[in-house]
A and B are shown apart, each in its own frame.
Chain A
């Protein structure tokens, strides 16, 4: 037993420690969890989502006035609900909701059977919110853990023993997930959400034996990676009071609007309750839309439910204001070139989404008005694109997403700005560059869109990156950290060195019609090696023109295009 500590019961302080250590452990392991995504390119986010959800929940615990367990778990449930991110985060928040319900009656000391009940309740709650539970996932891991916890409690284990049983149960179940879900076995991984849950349970276990001094140290170094703290800061902006505009209709019999008014009035402001015994409409600004819905849901059937976050709406308005200001200003705001309103507006401007300094420079030199940073792991939001489009001094704007994951956000921009916006569905930087070759500034938006879309089939894109974990693709066996070459997004080549893989990759892409081979090397790759690769290719393909550029893109050693 770790540290030799045996606790018959768990008090509020210990529970809080368990949760803090769990959040800490998950945060440290999140990259490992992320790497369990089922396609081996670095873009999984299960670990990050679960970690953000748990961090939001743990942050909420700071509000606990006393160490009462029922109160702590209530805050835990609330915090995880507010902070839930992604599918796995939503499941985790349900888990904690159930966990909290299981302990709601406990004041100061949770005994073995209380802890076991919390695990069982947690698992049951997760199953309740899904139509077709998929086994071999986080749901299974939580269920097996709860069964183990319950069995341990029945056999007379103490509180520590129950938590240990839950951890072991979860670990065993996690190891079994590939046998239940074939897609996991094929990829040679365990379920990512299940792994996240095991990280949390490991934290519970370690938290049991953390001394007060160790806890203090741990809390002192609490801040995590900068990107995440920014996210957390955003998530924790809960200062605005009554930020959810909540509206719905109750259908039922014998509804008493007056009763609703008295009950809801303390929970928010701007309240309107109108209707009769059969149909009543409720409108209220509140911080607790869930409580409002729960109360009214017991009076009848709820329909036409609309909950809007007015705080986020405010922020959107604020940022729109900023755009207006930019429109008329001639100051150059950092990171955001103001519109040069002194010059004549162009008829068509271009916004491109690019990752890497070198590629950004190439796009600018080709006539792109505004470059938005983004790519594989950090897709720009629609809002970023709206700002970029507004900052271009042109009547209509074409967006080059240069990544399949950005195309959708780009298309949404059309409805959010006053300008005419067109999107050329470029899925890679080379396609974007190729499209720019067909751009004619004096032509209309429509003419340009047709010409640019038409260029996309003329260029083939290859990418060289590393596998974040082992997998099998077709008849290729891939180990973690192997270098992989993707042709048009599909794994085509595997090897040990980026240059050898790039060479093989280009060989699969070149045919007798090819005339230009362009190589863009990434931020972590040396220019000499790239030059050498260029020379080798030039020798191999004397009929082609080979060009080497510094792309500066993250994660990808090489992006190559063959035209």
Chain B
């Protein structure tokens, strides 16, 4: 699937993977988020085959003139999860809207798991 934008000199179409990559990279830059969770078994398999899969854990839905983004994330134990989720929503929306010029209808965040780093257990 691709989203099309009518520009002055013709159409611009943007593939789903492009939107997903931009959303994924923006999300991964957010503090407190430590990973994207695979959406399904297929994606878990792709993970084994590809090193840098920035689209991992990102779902894009196309609406009439906007997109809806679904993110499956892993957060670090000990951060304020509600605040991290809010920041992720804000940044992903901003990145996709400014870089691609698409309207983002909503960014839904699913916290799939929490990582407990047991680096030190004295």
Contacts and interface: CB of A to CB of B under 8 A. Distances in A.
Interface of A: 81-82, 84-87, 89-91, 93-94, 97, 101, 124-125, 128-132, 134, 290, 293-294, 297-298, 301-307, 309, 408, 411-412
A131 B28 contact: yes
A132 B28 contact: yes
A304 B75 CA distance: 13
B45 to A, nearest CB: 19
A90 B77 contact: no
Given A129-B32, A130-B32, A303-B112, A297 B77 contact: yes
Contacts, number: 86
Given A86-B83, A94-B76, 15 more contacts: A85-B83, A86-B87, A87-B31, A94-B79, A97-B78, A101-B120, A124-B119, A130-B76, A293-B114, A293-B116, A294-B77, A294-B116, A301-B113, A303-B113, A307-B81
Interface residues of B, number: 30
Nearest to A307: B81
A131 B116 contact: no
B4 interface: no
Given A129-B31, A411-B105, A94 B78 contact: yes
Contacts of A84: 79-80, 83
A356 to B, nearest CB: 26
8 contacts: A81-B79, A86-B83, A87-B87, A90-B87, A101-B120, A294-B116, A302-B114, A408-B93
Contact of A298 (B31, B87, B116): B116
A294 B35 CA distance: 18
Interface string B92-111: 01000000000001100001
Nearest to A407: B103
Contact of A297 (B34, B87, B114): B114
Residue of A86, A124, A309 most packed against chain B (CB within 10 A) = A86
Give the top 5 A-B pairs by smallest Cβ distance, nearest first: A129-B76, A84-B80, A297-B116, A131-B28, A130-B31
Given A303-B113, A305-B114, A90 B33 contact: no
B28 A128 contact: no
Contact of B111 (A81, A93, A305, A411): A305
Contacts of B79: 81, 84, 90, 93-94, 129
B83 A128 contact: no
Given A101-B120, A290-B78, A411-B105, A131 B33 contact: yes
B30 interface: yes
A85 B31 CA distance: 12
Interface in B18-74: 28-35
B56 to A, nearest CB: 12
B82 A81 contact: no
Given A93-B79, A129-B79, A302 B87 contact: no
B82 A129 contact: no
Nearest to A77: B78
A226 B117 CA distance: 39
Among B33, B76, B84, B106, chain A packs the most CB atoms within 10 A around the CB of: B76
Contacts of A128: 34, 76, 117, 119
Contacts of A293: 77, 114, 116
